[in-house]
Amino acid sequence: MSKNQENWEQLFDDHKILEEISKNGIFIISSKMINKYRESRLMAKFDYSSQRPKIFKDNGIVILPIKRGAYALGKFDLFFQLKNSDAPDVEEPICVEFLNNISSISPNNIFSESVAINSAYISGIFDQFAEEKVYPTLEGRMGTGSFEFQIKISNSNTNKLLTVENSQCEIDSCFEGDTKILLLEAKNIETNDFNIRQLFYPYKILKSLSTKQIIPILFIFSNDIFRIIEFKFQDDSNINSIKIQNIKRYTFVSSSDEINLDDIENIMRNIKFVDEPPKTPFPQANDFKRVLDLTKILSESPKTHIAIAENYDFAGRQASYHTDAGKYLGLKGIITIESQEVLENIEEQINSEIPKEEKELLREIQKLNSLLRLIKADKIDEIEQSLINNISDYINS
């Protein structure tokens, strides 16, 4: 059990929080109350629904800051589900050039949200999206000022009116042009959902500062793709009025770097099969792109499964499944420190200067007999050709 989960369960028990929410629909908790158990800044930040402690998930509880030093707990719809939304069709990625006179950032090693934002800016991605020249303006922590808003009560058709009084929020980045302001909430991993507050509170700040069109954006950099998801709040006083308006994808990868059938056939003819790694579970990860995301995350520092689940959009088991898949492919080692499994990146080339990192991953996959028993170095029949086509389409998607 994580520290957050343990302390929240104690808080719920000590302050009869579930009983209060059942009776009044809301429970106001102060930072001082939380700090008696653990720092509130560590206890109250849930960017994804999966990060919430078990007692929150089991009872449909969310938490929102409403003023400095105070939070509202209640059964509200606070997370936007990306995979179940009525999103428009996504076009093929638009190829952009990375400036060849930039040496302090490498397009092959974009390791953080801020570097991803800067890389997109200097390559003109935000100008293209806004259809006008834009410039970086606001970022960092700011006071929200005072405002009221409606939030939907879960599993009902009714809303709750909440008041925010100079709470703190963080703006990842803003880019302003003649007629528009792009408001960015940035992520460097694929995610199933996100906390709407991360866009709504900054949106309310910008609406109070400017009469220009404010465009809320979820900006995701994952698997060498910049994804810009444009939203609109159809009612500025309702946090749940958020709708997807547009989705664009951009990449630095040129057509010459795409994996083609010749690449795959050449690998298949020349690889040597190896034994499966001992004491390593067969991969159960259901999203290979998230395995790639983990190579980025773990390049910064070793992390436990619990830390990955708490700080990124991974449920507890999914954190294990995806890191085990990385270990199975030889991308990560697992060592034991203080009785916890700590993940350590042992394949730095995945995040450095290999021009076709996906090809290297494919090579590791194909070395394993159990995954590709049908493939022979001297023969590719119709079944194998179908497999090649599927792998090529997936990696270049």
Tens digit of each residue's pLDDT (9 = 90 or more) over 85-138:
677 777 789 999 998 899 999 888 888 899 999 999 999 999 999 999 999 999
Which domain covers residue 221, as residue numbers?
81-253
First and final C-alpha spacing in the chain: 37
Q: How far is it, in rounded angstroms, from Cα 64 to Cα 161? A: 13
- Tell me: do 233 and 94 sit in the same domain: yes
The per-residue pLDDT for 269 is 75
Average pLDDT, the chain: 80
Query: Does residue 215 carry a pLDDT above 90?
Result: yes
The per-residue pLDDT for 7 is 96
Buried b (16+ CB within 10 A) or exposed e, 215-243: bbbbbbbbbbbbbbbbbebeeeeebbbbe
- Tell me: do 101 and 244 sit in the same domain: yes
Per-residue pLDDT tens over the stretch 228-247: 999 999 999 999 999 999 99
Per-residue pLDDT tens over the stretch 46-76: 999 999 999 999 999 999 999 999 999 999 9
- Tell me: do 186 and 41 sit in the same domain: no
The per-residue pLDDT for 115 is 94
- Tell me: do 48 and 116 sit in the same domain: no
Assess contact for 297 and 189: CB atoms under 8 A: yes
Q: Where are the alpha helices (DSSP H) in 74-157?
A: 113-122, 125-130
Q: How far is it, in rounded angstroms, from Cα 271 to Cα 224? A: 26
pTM: 0.73
The per-residue pLDDT for 275 is 72
- Tell me: do 86 and 58 sit in the same domain: no
Mean pLDDT of 143-157: 96
Assess contact for 38 and 134: CB atoms under 8 A: no
Q: How far is it, in rounded angstroms, from Cα 366 to Cα 267? A: 8
Q: How far is it, in rounded angstroms, from Cα 54 to Cα 45? A: 15
Q: How far is it, in rounded angstroms, from Cα 218 to Cα 241? A: 16
The per-residue pLDDT for 337 is 36
Residues belonging to the chain: 397
- Tell me: do 172 and 36 sit in the same domain: no
- Tell me: do 271 and 246 sit in the same domain: no
- Tell me: do 129 and 49 sit in the same domain: no
- Tell me: do 37 and 145 sit in the same domain: no
Tally of structural domains, the chain: 3
Mean pLDDT of 156-167: 96
Q: What percent of the chain has pLDDT over 70?
A: 66
Assess contact for 218 and 207: CB atoms under 8 A: no
- Tell me: do 178 and 241 sit in the same domain: yes
Of 75, 94, 116, the residue at which a domain comes to its end is: 75
Mean pLDDT of 195-209: 98
Query: Does residue 265 carry a pLDDT above 70?
Result: yes
Query: Does residue 39 carry a pLDDT above 80?
Result: yes
Of 217, 234, 253, the residue at which a domain comes to its end is: 253
Per-residue pLDDT tens over the stretch 354-380: 344 554 555 555 555 444 444 443 344
E strand intervals along 157-253 = 159-165, 168-171, 173-176, 180-187, 193-195, 213-222, 225-233, 242-251
The per-residue pLDDT for 70 is 97
Mean pLDDT of 216-222: 95
The per-residue pLDDT for 145 is 95
Residue 315's pLDDT band, with cuts at 50, 70 and 90, is low
**CA separation (Å) from 45 to 51, 73, 267, 308?**
9, 13, 45, 14
